[in-house]
Amino acid sequence: MNRIKPKALRPGARIGLIAPSGAALAPERVDVARAAVTELGFEVVEGGSCREVYGYLAGSDTLRAADFNAFFADPSIDGIFCLKGGYGTPRILDRVDWRLVRANPKVFLGYSDITAAHLALERECGLVTFHGPMPHAEKMPAWDEASRAALLAAIGPAGGRGRILNPPDRPLRGLSGGKARGHLVGGNLSLIAATMGTPWEIDTRGRILFIEDISERPYRIDRMLTQLRLAGKLDSAAGFLLGDWNDCGPEPGKRSLSLDEIFRDLLLPTGKPILANLAAGHSSTNLTLPLGIEVEIDADALTLEVMETATS
């Protein structure tokens, strides 16, 4: 399928704020989110799901899918930002009008549970999307300066082309040397694994696979990576980009492999370059990554470069 690049967002663009996943922690958190997006220079249009609560979900599946479809269909909406992650995005994938979405491409931003939507948008529409910070936050600001700058660079006219730089105090690491190019795919490892066997499972053939996660024990990360290995998803990738692994240590007092040991056991045998410790995912600095765009990783020079613009 041909890739579709969304139109770049400029100051004054109208952003549809939707909650396809978990419910906001409190109504005031939605106000914080609106303020954060407004501070970026955009106008906010709030979806009905943002203030709804249905257990751990931001309202019913019908409502969340309706917001998704409506904001893609609305020609006055220039981009769509997801409020937060949590859980729930996979529940609405079979309720999305993919033909409608394909006919109305626009910037789509989120991470964590939103990975399911990224995978589906790539599979169904060939749409370039953005793995990056969401505005729901427990405290202000919703993003630090590095995250804010990377987000605006990625979704603006420059389209994020060029070198993606980690914070100075967080050096990239090469777990396996070499250089590789390919379209960037991936996101949250748990969601990648959860969509295996569905129409929206990840396609890694010749691509750079990006993965990150939060609050998963090492054995669970091992299990999910092993699932991808047995499905041929690791061998078919061109290289690997490892993001943040917040709170992914072993249970105190329990015997465990380290994450590096797991990565070396499961990724090194592919013989592909592995670039690790990228500040992307559940970290205080969450760099925006354009999914579906060609990138180059150099695990010797420790660089990540976006080779083309992600916006039109």
What is the pLDDT, as a whole number, of residue 138? 67
What is the pLDDT, as a whole number, of residue 83? 98
Q: Which residues are catalytic?
A: 112, 212, 282
What is the pLDDT, as a whole number, of residue 51? 97
236-282 pLDDT per residue, tens:
999 999 999 999 999 999 999 999 999 999 999 999 999 999 999 99
**Considering only the top CATH level, what class is 14-142?**
alpha beta
Q: CB–CB of 64/93 below 8 Å?
A: no
What is the pLDDT, as a whole number, of residue 177? 96
Q: CB–CB of 192/280 below 8 Å?
A: no
Separation of first and last alpha carbons in the chain:
18
Residues 74-101, mean pLDDT to the nearest whole number: 98
Q: What is the pTM of this model?
A: 0.97
Residues 121-146, mean pLDDT to the nearest whole number: 91
**Considering only the top CATH level, what class is 162-306?**
alpha beta
What is the pLDDT, as a whole number, of residue 141? 77
Q: CB–CB of 107/80 below 8 Å?
A: yes
For 163, counting Cβ atoms within 10 Å of its Cβ (0-12 exposed, 13-18 middle, 19+ buried), the class is exposed
Any idea which of 5-14, 24-33, 206-215, 261-270 has the lowest mean pLDDT?
24-33
From start to end of the chain, where are the E strands?
Answer: 14-18, 43-46, 79-82, 107-110, 129-131, 162-163, 173-176, 179-188, 208-214, 239-246, 274-276, 289-291, 294-298, 303-306
**Token pair 């700058």 in the structure block, residue:** 149
Residues 2-10, mean pLDDT to the nearest whole number: 96
22-78 pLDDT per residue, tens:
999 999 999 999 999 999 999 999 999 999 999 999 999 999 999 999 999 999 999
Does residue 139 register a pLDDT over 70? no
144-173 pLDDT per residue, tens:
999 999 999 999 999 999 999 999 999 999
Ranges in the chain annotated CATH 3.50.30.60: 162-306
What is the pLDDT, as a whole number, of residue 140? 63
**What's the mean pLDDT when you consider all of the chain?**
97
Ranges in the chain annotated CATH 3.40.50.10740: 14-142
Give CA–CA dist 155/227, Å, rounded.
Answer: 33
What is the pLDDT, as a whole number, of residue 71? 98
